[in-house]
Amino acid sequence: MNTIVCIKQVPDTTEIKLDPVTGTMIREGVPSIMNPDDRSGLELALQLRERHGGTVTVITMGPRQAEAILREALALGVDRAILLSDRKFAGADTLATSNTLAGALRALPFDVIITGRQAIDGDTAQVGPQIAEHLDLPQVTYVERASLETPAALRVRRAVEEGHQTVEVDLPCLLTVLAGAVEPRYMSVRGIIEAYNKEIEQWDYSRVTVDERAIGLAGSPTRVFKSFSRGAKNACEPRELPVEEAVDLILAGLREKFII
């Protein structure tokens, strides 16, 4: 079974701090990581390969620096790593991104495509299902586990609000995987050394089967009109008081707001 995992390099948002005065994001010094949901998706792909044979390919769209996560994937044992990088891809919203990725995936053999549920920088959870639509594949989202049910179908466990569903899905298909559901493995020392002897394929626009008008900024129906940090607009001046005086102050506040 051949699996392709779409991965993304993201800033580690758990490391982002807000400037207490301006309320703006401090991005400097924030490390870049492989998106956590994608890391679990990659682990699921490696487990499927261990059980059923086949190959695992990783692909990412991004600038040159995104090679770092491909190298990491190679160290974890993937067979093939592809960097999709071209100025034409830049400025893409989720639809244009999904068009680019789908265009690249058309050129590759696969039974299963895996994406993370969502990336921690954008939190959209849109690119996976959009790829599935472009490639006319059935999709299962919020996946925690998957196994081969018959030669032509996977059995998948997915999380929904009220519990867990079991879903059967015909191959080929696309799954979006939740972080935390599958514990990702660590890189081995040997894996890390070997990763540096493996090639990362560089693909530009010429390798991608997609209309130029459907990608990048031009292919993006949505635009950021403005962005802002939540700011410190409500910031209060915290008061340090003896316990009973603090309680007086709280009670006064609650009375003023008619809460008590």
Chain positions 5 to 34 lying near other proteins, rule: CB under 8 A, are: 11, 13-14, 16, 18, 20, 23, 25
Judged by CB under 8 A, which of 44, 140, 177, 210 binds other proteins?
Answer: 140
Q: Is 217 in the site for other proteins (CB under 8 A)?
A: no
CB of 63 to other proteins, least distance (A): 18
- CA 28 – CA 46 distance, rounded (Å): 34
CA distance 28 to 48: 38
Query: What residues between 231 and 250 interact with other proteins by CB under 8 A?
Result: 232, 234-241, 243-244, 246-247, 249-250
To other proteins, the closest distance from the beta carbon of 71 in angstroms equals 25
Surface-to-core class of residue 112, CB atoms within 10 Å of its CB (0-12 exposed, 13-18 middle, 19+ buried):
buried
Among 168, 194, 201, 204, the residue binding other proteins under the rule CB under 8 A is 168
Sign, CA dihedral 98-104-109-114, equals negative
Decide: 11 and 32 in contact? Cβ < 8 Å. Answer: yes
Structure-block tokens of residue 244 = 């009973």
| Bridge partners for 173 per DSSP | 112
Give bridge partners of residue 203 from the DSSP assignment. 84
Among candidates 130, 46, 64, which has minimal Cα distance to 93?
130
Reading the block at residue 257, the tokens are 């707001």
Least CB distance to other proteins at residue 111 (A): 13
Closest CA to 8 of 69, 65, 55: 69
Should residue 148 be labelled a site residue for other proteins when binding is judged by CB under 8 A? no
What letter does residue 13 receive in the DSSP assignment?
G
- 8 A C-beta contact, residue 168 and residue 56: no
Q: How far apart are CA 97 and CA 101, in angstroms?
A: 6
Question: Contacts with other proteins in 25-84 (CB under 8 A)?
Answer: 25
Determine, following the binding rule CB under 8 A, whether residue 221 of this chain makes contact with other proteins: yes
Judged by CB under 8 A, the stretch of 51-59, 76-84, 200-208, 219-227 that binds other proteins is 219-227
Applying CB under 8 A, does 201 fall inside the site for other proteins? no
The site that binds other proteins (CB under 8 A) totals a number of residues, namely 78
Q: Work out which of 50, 109, 124, 190 binds other proteins, going by CB under 8 A.
A: 124
Name which position in 79, 86, 133, 144 contacts other proteins (CB under 8 A).
133
Closer of 199 and 256 to other proteins (Cβ): 256
Q: Binding of other proteins at residue 151 (CB under 8 A)?
A: no
Using the rule CB under 8 A, give the single segment among 35-43, 74-82, 138-146, 187-195 that binds other proteins.
138-146
95 binds other proteins, rule: CB under 8 A: yes
Strands 112-116 and 139-150, bridge-based pairing: unpaired
Span of 38-46, 67-75, 198-206, 222-230 interacting with other proteins by CB under 8 A: 222-230
Asked if residue 229 binds other proteins (CB under 8 A), the reply is: yes
**What 3-state class would DSSP assign to 60?**
strand
